[in-house]
Amino acid sequence: MNIRPETRNMPLARRLRRHGYRLTRPRLAVLQVLEAGLHHLSPSEVYERAKQLHPALGLTTVYRTLELLTELGSLRATYMGDSSQRFHQSGEGHHDHCVCSACGTVVEIAECHLAAVVELIGEKTGFQVEGHFLELYGTCPDCRSSLGDQSADEPAEGAT
């Protein structure tokens, strides 16, 4: 197998190869955007950035690549308040979010305070829980301020 040098240090590319998928130039452009360390990109944002790397890229390729990487567990989709999705690479352990239903801002929750709840759920269901993914929906402080909500203060400790 001929491995492109530019893909040797790309975990997403390695994962696709390991599962028998080809690294076409359009797919590689999508992977390069996802590997750039940008978080919570919509399919259209991935498309616009990847199209700069490979002008012949089609939007269908972007959607198929995002879907494939999600199925393989390399990406996670965050569902926004308007039913759109944003994608980010899956990490170890948990990766929780607060999502603003008004503007789409995504805030990652740095600390997890759900250990006791997860343990209880495991005991009650008989599951050996290996991880979780939590998305909380609401309105961010900026949107609440712009709507005249006087309770829009600083984010809680642990939110980044």
- 81-101 confidence digits (pLDDT tens): 666 788 878 765 566 778 888
- Cα distances from 42 to residues 3, 5, 11, 102, 118, in angstroms, run 29, 28, 20, 16, 30
The segment(s) of the chain belonging to CATH 3.30.1490.190 are 93-160
Which CATH architecture does the domain made up of 93-160 adopt?
2-Layer Sandwich (3.30)
Please state the pTM of the whole predicted model.
Answer: 0.65
Whether residue 152 is predicted with pLDDT greater than 70 in this model: the reply is no
Work out the pLDDT band at 153, boundaries 50, 70, 90: low
Top CATH class, 1-91: mainly alpha
Strand partners, 97: 108, 135
Tens of pLDDT, residue by residue over 18-58, are 999 999 999 999 999 998 877 788 999 999 999 999 999 99
Work out the pLDDT band at 1, boundaries 50, 70, 90: very low
List % helix, strand, coil for the chain (3-state, nearest 5).
Answer: 40, 15, 45
The segment(s) of the chain belonging to CATH 1.10.10.10 are 1-91
